[in-house]
Structure 1
Amino acid sequence: MTRFRLYDEVQAVIQDEMPLIQINYVTNTFALDNNAVPIETVFNIILFEESKMNEILEMKDKLEMKDKILEYWDYRSSDYHTEYAKCMDEEIEIWKSVFSEILLTDEKIRAVEVGTGPGLLAISLAAMGHDVTGVDLSENMLEKAAKNAKEKGVDVLLVQGDAEKIPLNDGEYDFVLSKYLLWTLPQPDKFMAECCRLLKDGGLMMIVDGLWFQNPDGTEKKSSRYEKFNELYSDVKPNLPLAKNNTPERITALAQSHGFDAVSWRFLEDYDAFLERNDPSGHASSYIQPPHMVLAKKRSHN
Structure 2
Amino acid sequence: MHRISLILSQARRGGFTWEFLLDKMEVEFGIQGLEGGYSIRTFQRDLTTIREVYGIDIQFNKRLKKYLINEDDSEPIRMHLLESLDIINAFELASDLGQFVFFDGRRAGGTEHLSPLIGAIKKRVKVRFRHFKNWIETEDFREVSPLALKQVKYSWYLIALNEKEELRNYGLDRIHDLSTTPQKFERPENLNFKEYYQHVFGILNDSTLPVENILLHFSKQQGHYIRSMPIHPSQIIEKDDENGLIVSLQLKINHELISEILSYGDQVKVLEPEVLSERVRRIANKITR
TM norm. shorter chain > 0.5: no
More RCO (CA 8 Å, sep 6+): 1
Higher strand share: 2
TM-score for the superposition, normalised by structure 2: 0.30
TM-score for the superposition, normalised by structure 1: 0.29
